[in-house]
Structure 1
């Protein structure tokens, strides 16, 4: 029992000693370092403050860094706030507040370098602070400026971290830092290999930092034509023949080669060495060509009056006697080998992830084109009408959603109301257009095109008169904000996911109407063989009217969906009319599956071309149109052609 009592006595003594020690006493011990701190001297102060474990230390460090610590004439330190000619003082230990005149105090003003050192020490306390926000701030601070001294406190704080997300972030950041700052080679290599599956930008930055290099140049040994590389972790040897002048300039900068002789240098040297009408034995009258001036300069160089003549031919001859290389800043070859292997694995994964992300973008764009084109596919397929006003029905649907939101502030409810309302409005507009204009122009495609083009211009102007030329907001519900993030590379916005789901619902609904209802049966009959359908008692005129209204109504619903992420203006329909016609023609006129195939082909093709040529979107669209023109040459009836219509044609 005696050893137990002794241990207990020691513990009680240490606790009592810690309680008896106050922060002011430690500050008085380092009064000179606090008054005039430097990056070299402040480390001793911080070590003692951190070792004390006093709860007042973090607050003091924060206030010191923010220049809120003042020293009284008697040497005592206070946390203070200026109030005119006075200071509102707070005791560094008890927190007791008093007010005294400012003239008897001196403000401590640590410079930027000292504040950075203080911040590093402060992070050690903040990593285990009870406040989650402070811990998150500390981790973010380490991530911005990682330092070897921060690794140990970061590792020590992981086990006690109660927030799962922050704990995962600490582990990830500790891996990044261990790859560069761990004590042993084995620990660094283990941390590096743990990054081989991490596709984040931070992981790639950490690996690239380990693989950072600097350029170097070496010369050959005497009586040897082979250059000797220096000792060290050589990353690669470079062939200088692609850009010889640039690499020769590197040798000149390193002091291993004479500077290339320029025309101006030759002219200046010749002017300085004119002797009795000659320069280097060449008469002045003959110095009218570059060759003669070079000859005169060479004579001066041979007489050691000017530096040697160095021309491009000289450089080409002497360049093989130099070795140009890149050497790793990291001296350990095992570490750089591990980093190269890990980075290769990461880049391969990033390539796969970029492919997936590109596919998601293509799928999203295909969904938009499908929604925009499916109504046109129905009207164009059944009636053969080239409706240039189809884009304006999309615009009408988008403006319908905007108007509904003016009266229904709940964005979710407003979208639910806007979808059927947009269908009803554009259905009615489509029926009116078919009854008043289109039905008088059947079998006259050019006149139909001109008439619908005029209607589209009139609808655009009407929208400008009503809503103005400014873009109007069609706000999505909060649950559609943000994006579904799979990794730093793969992500897709919730609005695009919603449009994709809406496209699937429309596909299912249209297939149901066409395959399972009487209207669908009659539409298919008229599409494939109008004459035979009429002989079976089907009224083609009524079917044309209903079909045109249905296609226009679907365009209105597409307008609501598109307006959730695109600008709602009077010209928005023009952005989709060309793609809609291309989708219908490429996919196959009058066929739902053909429209789906055409939208998929155009969506993926456009995203692929944009990825290959990201700096020029217009050129990407031009290439896409050219490809589609070539495609139609080989398959004029589209991907999925209607057999009945093909037979009739």
Structure 2
């Protein structure tokens, strides 16, 4: 093997040097070994092929492993594929091709062991292949099935690697291989320590493989690299079974075996001096069996006391497969560091998920917060305005195939459509039901059902695609643990923009001043020349329009159906109530509380989002018992109400 590695390194160093020798002549030198390869003879062929530096060697090894090499009646070797007894052949050295009867050729069929050796050699050749894809595939192959023989050529190929990403990958894989197979202990420890900052699954797998251990038992602790001493009395029955399997103790009799032994030794109505009528007592059965054992008629009875004595007489342990304690100590320290980093990364990933969910809840609820806070209207159709916005985005994409432009156009169009729908709803229905919350709830619920059915009649029951632009495809990947989709990042940014915009409208514009005046004291606002009815209409339209924009954003990653509003109406009301009715900052606080709370519950049961939502609803019910006005209590009319 050492000579083979030397030859491979020569190939890596001199692959670009021209040679007058062709591949066929090398194959003819080893014709018998090529035609009938074995694990013992193939190494010589591979050594000479590596030393030749011929570029066609890589292709030959691929074909040889795939059983696509044939030997003609003239003794020469060809690449070939058979079809209906006709062989399409190609020269191993030139571009010459042709066809001939397959009967004139014999197919070379290396067995599985030889193919594995060829595959190992092939990977090493491919590490410095001019083709980037071949080099990438070779590194991936080493990562999947690392072997000590691959380390030298992998290290030799790093300095000459021209692709920066692949070079970094080669260094990483080289660390994996060195950590497991390097001959020098210091080199292995250095490689293991370098993995302490690598949170990838591959790095953790390498460290766990180094720390692989097996359970053993002996009369005395053996001179091996012991991982830990096991207390056999934590699981006495399982521990005794290990003793029996190791041949260090006799097997414990089963109740069935004891019964069969007793039945076979009945004499004059007694067994071991115990009358048959008394054998229903477990203690007397053991006494009878012990008497038979003393008489040499049965094996020694293994009682709990006998078992415990045997357990106390042996040492149970877990021993590392790796015999060097310095290696396993370094691996344990590295794995502990990695697990700490992974735990921190999981918290960061959970935080990003919670921020994303909170931003979605905020977008879905902010319009409802404004409407509910100013007007006191329980709008059960708010979810349908979200649905209308999503469908508006879908319709816009039907006319504008450029997804980036269509999204930019869809946002204001969705606002306009849902603003108009909100104004119409307020003028036609809501304004007649002020200060009548039960009738308002029933009316808006009926409108919700009607809008869902209208959407079904227009768009059908199947989900419609609202496609995001290419620049929103994929995810921001920090490492193997932390990643978040670009769509969710965009929704988070959109939520921040809307927070700033709404605060500007409420604090810096005349409309905002009038809205706040009506919120604080509608009677006094009317006496100052403000029209509360107009403000209510515009406010309801504004809240509905914001819901439409939220629908476009939510539709980019969620299904767009007639029922999609129902998925967000409950969370929207929870967000508004928990945060504080009619308060923008309260809505933000409520969205953060529910988003982080739901993700925190999902941490304990990631596979059941519905359960997390249910527990969150129960938490909200308890929360409002102690703080009925929400996190940020509203002052003024709503507070008085």
Give the Å deviation of 1:317.
4.7
Which residue of the partner structure matches residue 347 of structure 2? 355
1:245 is matched with 237
Q: What are the within-5 Å matches in structure 2 for residues 87-102 of structure 1?
A: 87-102=87-102
Instruction: Indicate whether 1:369 and 2:357 are aligned.
Output: no
Contact 2:515 / 2:535 at 8 angstroms: preserved in 1?
yes
Q: Deviations over 1:204-236 (max 9, x none)?
A: 1111111111111123xxxxxxxx211111011
Structure 1 residues 647 and 123, CA gap change in structure 2 (3 angstroms): closer
Q: Write out aligned runs for 1:24-423 (5 A).
A: 24-219=24-219, 228-423=220-415
Query: In 1, Cα distance between the equivalents of 2:444 and 2:417?
Result: 18
Cα displacement (A) at 1:273: 3.0
RMSD (CA atoms): 1.9
Aligned pair count? 627
Q: Kindly report which structure 2 residues correspond to 1:482-521, keeping only aligned pairs within 5 A, or say none.
A: 482-521=474-513
1:95 CA drift (Å): 4.1
Residue 422 of structure 2: which of 430, 449, 470 is its match? 430
What corresponds to 1:544 in structure 2? 536
8 Å CA contact retained: 1:529, 1:648: no
Shift of 1:560: 0.5
User: Aligned pair in 2 of structure 1 residues 544, 68: CA closer, same or farther (>3 Å)?
Assistant: same
How far apart are the structure 2 equivalents of 1:320 and 1:216?
15
**1:535–1:315 Cα change, 3 Å:** farther
- Deviations along 1:171-213, one digit per CA (max 9) or x if unpaired, are 1111111111112001001111111111111111111111111
Distance in 2 (alpha carbons) for counterparts of 1:312 and 1:522? 86
Once the two structures are superposed, what CA deviation does each residue of 1:345-404 show, in whole Å capped at 9, x if it has no partner?
111111111111110000000000000000000000001111111111111111111111
- SS at 2:262's partner residue? helix
Answering whether residue 520 of structure 2 is matched by residue 528 of structure 1, we say yes
TM-superposition CA deviations, 1:536-564 (whole Å, max 9, x none): 21111111111111101100110000000
The alpha-carbon distance between structure 1 residues 279 and 51, as it changes in their structure 2 partners (threshold 3 A), is farther
SS in 2 for 1:70: strand
Q: What is the TM-score when the length of structure 2 is the normalising length? A: 0.94
1:523, 1:313 → 2: CA distance? 84
Runs (5+) with no aligned partner, structure 1: 1-13, 220-227
Residue 468, structure 1, aligned to residue 429, structure 2: no
Match of 1:225 in 2: none
1:591 to 562, 574, 583: 583
CA gap of 1:313–1:442, structure 2 versus 1, over 3 A, is farther
Which secondary structure state, in structure 2, belongs to the residue aligned with residue 19 of structure 1?
coil
Could you say if the C-alpha distance between residues 115 and 286 of structure 1 is closer, same or farther in structure 2, counting changes exceeding 3 Å? same
Higher mean C-alpha displacement, 25-34 vs 253-262: 25-34
Equivalent pair of 1:78/1:90 in contact (CA under 8 Å)? yes
1:565-584 aligned at under 5 Å gives the runs 565-584=557-576
The answer to whether 1:618 aligns with 2:610 is yes
Distance 1:481 1:18 in 2: 47
Task: Summarize deviations over 1:270-317 as a string: whole Å, max 9, x none.
Answer: 233334443323333333343333322222222333222224454345
The 1:370/1:188 distance shift into structure 2, 3 A limit, reads: same
Q: Distance in 2 between matches of 1:521 and 1:229?
A: 83
**Structure 1 residues 624-633 or 309-318, which shifts more?**
309-318
Q: CA deviation at 1:113?
A: 2.6
Between stretches 43-52 and 344-353, larger displacement belongs to 43-52
Secondary structure class of the residue paired with 1:542: helix
2:633 and 2:639 in contact (8 A); partners too: no
Encode CA deviations 1:140-159: one digit per residue, 9 max, x unaligned: 11111111111111111110
Aligned to 1:8: none
The TM-score with structure 1 as length reference comes to 0.93
SS at match of 1:89: strand
Alpha-carbon separation, structure 1, partners of 2:266 and 2:36: 64
C-alpha distance in structure 2 between counterparts of 1:312 and 1:41, whole Å: 59
Rounded Cα–Cα distance in structure 2 between residues aligned with 1:237 and 1:248: 16
- Counterparts of 1:554 and 1:607, CA distance in 2: 25
Change (3 A) 1:486 1:278: same
SS in structure 2 at match of 1:157:
helix
Aligned partners of 1:315, 1:447: CA distance in 2, in Å?
77
